[in-house]
């Protein structure tokens, strides 16, 4: 049997440490692990430190982070150690402001087949979220830059961080980003969801503008963002969009958001669709009202409508939603 490497042996020792990591011996071994050259070793030690809230080891985490910022292409490929350290400091609520500021600005271009790739996008994003949770005085400046990051993972994290802050400046930045667009539609959709989460009453009319575009992905993202508010105003705007289009594809995209508003008026609207619309649209509406299958009154009403319609395809769709054989 091949002998375990020194790193494997030390990782096994770290796992055993979890039985009593807070002891003097445990702390000593964790400090030693955080000084290791192995990025995997340091990431594992950081996880244990965070799990057991060993805040006195925060300076050791910060020192390890600075060490892996030196020649990072050699010492920390994939930012494994730095990501583990940032996660630990964030979970411990033990400061770490300087680490987060360094991390949110760090770019690490590593060789890949056909060129180079930035492996620090998640690090920048995680540091942005951490700075937002700390309420750092420079966070809006940093998040404005992150919102325009070349990597979409970092941009999405910036949106999440701005949503977390829930400030007027957040709303303005999210609106600007939504209006200027993004190569990745999910980033704009995240902006719209964030705006609704911060202030649905203020943002619903703005988000509704994105129901008018030609991009079905964007339309669906806007509709789902509005549905997340669960406000009757959201249903009204979605219904208006439905009534103003004859595009059946658009109407199908609106079914689930309308159902997700969880409004009584929305359910009644979908009942009417099942009752009166063409077969394909009625079947799409049945998928939407499937959210209410656990509601005895709604289920009874839907069953009555389906029975009265007497369409085998619609009946089969409803049976499938109900889980019937």
Which of 212, 246, 280 terminates a domain? The answer is 246
In a domain? residue 3:
no
Which of 106, 139, 165 terminates a domain? The answer is 165
Give the per-residue pLDDT at 1.
Answer: 45
- Are 284 and 231 members of one domain? no
Residue 268 domain boundaries: 263-325
- Are 146 and 102 members of one domain? yes
Instruction: Answer yes or no: is pLDDT of 144 > 60.
Output: yes
- Are 48 and 150 members of one domain? yes
Helix (H/G/I), strand (E/B), else coil: 255: helix
- Are 160 and 48 members of one domain? yes
In a domain? residue 25:
no
Give the per-residue pLDDT at 121.
Answer: 97
Give the per-residue pLDDT at 113.
Answer: 86
- Are 158 and 189 members of one domain? no
In a domain? residue 15:
no
Give the per-residue pLDDT at 11.
Answer: 65
pTM: 0.89
- Are 215 and 297 members of one domain? no
Categorise residue 166: left if φ over 0, alpha if ψ from -120 to 50, beta otherwise: left
Domain count, the chain: 3
In a domain? residue 188:
yes
- Are 189 and 152 members of one domain? no
- Determine what percent of the chain is predicted with pLDDT higher than 90: 82
In a domain? residue 301:
yes
In a domain? residue 189:
yes
Confidence band, pLDDT 50/70/90 cuts, at residue 181? very high
Confidence band, pLDDT 50/70/90 cuts, at residue 27? confident
The arithmetic mean of pLDDT across residues 276-291, rounded, is 93
- Are 35 and 160 members of one domain? yes
Which of 217, 246, 275 terminates a domain? The answer is 246
The arithmetic mean of pLDDT across residues 184-210, rounded, is 96
Angle between helices 264-276 and 232-244 (to 10 degrees): 30
Confidence band, pLDDT 50/70/90 cuts, at residue 293? confident
Instruction: Answer yes or no: is pLDDT of 95 > 90.
Output: no
- Are 318 and 214 members of one domain? no
Question: What own/partner pairs with CB < 8 Å and gap ≥ 24 does 298-302 have?
Answer: 298/267, 301/271, 302/271, 302/274
In a domain? residue 135:
yes
Q: Pick from 25-34, 106-115, 140-149, 315-324 the range whose average pLDDT is largest.
A: 140-149
- Are 182 and 143 members of one domain? no
Helix (H/G/I), strand (E/B), else coil: 112: strand
The Cα diameter of the chain in Å comes to: 75
- Are 186 and 127 members of one domain? no
In a domain? residue 19:
no
- Structure confidence by residue, pLDDT tens digits, 9-22: 666 666 666 666 76
- Are 118 and 175 members of one domain? no
> Residue 111 phi/psi, 5° resolution?
-65, 135
- Structure confidence by residue, pLDDT tens digits, 260-278: 999 999 999 999 999 999 9
């Amino acid at each position: 049997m091949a002998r375990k490497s020194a790193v494997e042996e030390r990782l096994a020792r770290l796992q055993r440490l979890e039985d009593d990591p807070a002891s003097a011996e445990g702390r000593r071994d964790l400090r030693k692990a955080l000084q290791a050259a192995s990025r995997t070793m340091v990431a594992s030690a950081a996880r244990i430190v965070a799990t057991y809230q060993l805040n006195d080891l925060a300076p050791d985490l910060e020192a390890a982070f600075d060490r892996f910022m030196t020649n990072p292409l050699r010492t920390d490929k994939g930012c494994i150690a730095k990501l583990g350290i940032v996660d630990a400091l964030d979970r411990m609520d033990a400061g770490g402001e300087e680490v987060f500021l360094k991390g949110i600005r760090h770019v690490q271009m590593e060789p890949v087949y056909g060129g180079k790739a930035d492996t620090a996008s998640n690090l920048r994003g995680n540091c942005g979220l951490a700075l937002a949770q700390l309420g750092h005085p420079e966070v809006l400046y940093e998040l404005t830059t992150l919102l325009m990051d070349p990597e979409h993972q970092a941009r999405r994290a910036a949106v999440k961080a701005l949503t977390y802050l829930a400030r007027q400046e957040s709303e303005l930045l999210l609106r600007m980003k939504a209006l200027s667009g993004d190569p990745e539609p999910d980033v704009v959709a995240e902006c719209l969801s964030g705006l609704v989460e911060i202030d649905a009453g203020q943002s619903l009319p703005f988000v509704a503008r994105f129901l008018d575009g030609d991009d079905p992905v964007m339309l669906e993202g806007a509709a789902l963002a509005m549905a997340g508010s669960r406000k009757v105003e959201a249903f009204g705007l979605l219904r208006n969009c439905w009534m103003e289009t004859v595009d059946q594809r658009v109407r199908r995209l609106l079914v689930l958001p309308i159902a997700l508003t969880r409004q009584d008026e929305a359910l009644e609207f979908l009942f009417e669709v099942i009752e009166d619309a063409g077969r394909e649209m009625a079947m799409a509406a049945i998928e939407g009202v499937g959210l209410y299958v656990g509601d005895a009154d709604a289920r009874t009403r839907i069953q009555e409508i389906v029975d009265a319609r007497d369409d085998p395809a619609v009946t089969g769709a409803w049976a499938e939603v109900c889980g019937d054989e």
